[in-house]
Amino acid sequence: MKKVLMLLLIGLLAIGLVACGTDEPASSEPANLYSDGTYSAVSDASDKGYSAVTVTIANDEITEIELFEYNGFGDEKTEAYPYEEYHQAKEEMPARFIEANGTDVEVFTGATGSSNNWIQALERALENAKLEADNDSTYFNGTFLGASDLGEKGRGVAWVTIEDDAIKSVELKATTFEKDTNKEVFKGEDYPFEPFHEAVTEMSARFIEANGSEVEIYTGATGSSVQWQQAVERALEKATK
């Protein structure tokens, strides 16, 4: 009887050892936060424009960053932009982001506004890169600039402010060209065409009510209305997560 019990105990012990040997060791590697890939996002916009970032991520590490900035017409600032500190910041800030592997960096002295805009744009790009989104909203909260194609008479520009996926306000402007210099400028309150000014107010209300760009054009200001539709659509594209 003792021999039988001993054999049973040995058998149970052997089974236990085998079972323990098949257990996978707990992984000490943290789960990835981001998906590998390249992501883009923009900052909030003002009447002076906005900034943009394109970031490449591999194994949760920022490997490459490109920085951009756009003026109040929606045009990208080029090498001809006459502000040296801006160009210096554009060269320096990518290295700071890569070294920090994030947005916890010092701003570039002399280009504080651009630096803060790039930080915000990168935060949004990194949020887009997350494996698990912080929330299920369609848009970022903020103000986003969209501009229509430039035509012979100018273009339409829209600043769309979004909060909790709802358009809260829309500011619309349109450009024209000065006769003497052919310089592109925004139409002012003295622009001598009343239907245009009526359309500014009415189209803004229509975009807010529709919570989008698909609205009826304003009779008497067809050209401006179509341009603003395109501008609002592009602003919403920039706001999309």
Domains (ranges, CATH) in the chain? Answer: 37-129 (3.90.1010.20), 142-239 (3.90.1010.20)
What H or E segment, with its residue span, contains residue 14?
Answer: helix 2-22
pLDDT digits (tens, 9 = 90+) for 140-165: 999 999 999 999 999 999 999 999 99
The sheet carrying 50-58 orders its strands as 37-42, 50-58, 61-70
Q: Could you give the percent of the chain with pLDDT greater than 70? A: 88
Would you call 76 helix, strand, or coil by DSSP? strand
Nearest to 146 by CA among 161, 155, 158, 156: 158
Q: Residue 233, class by beta-carbon neighbours within 10 Å (0-12 exposed, 13-18 middle, 19+ buried)?
A: middle
Residue 70 DSSP one-character state: E
pLDDT (0 to 100) of residue 10: 46
Average pLDDT score over the chain: 91
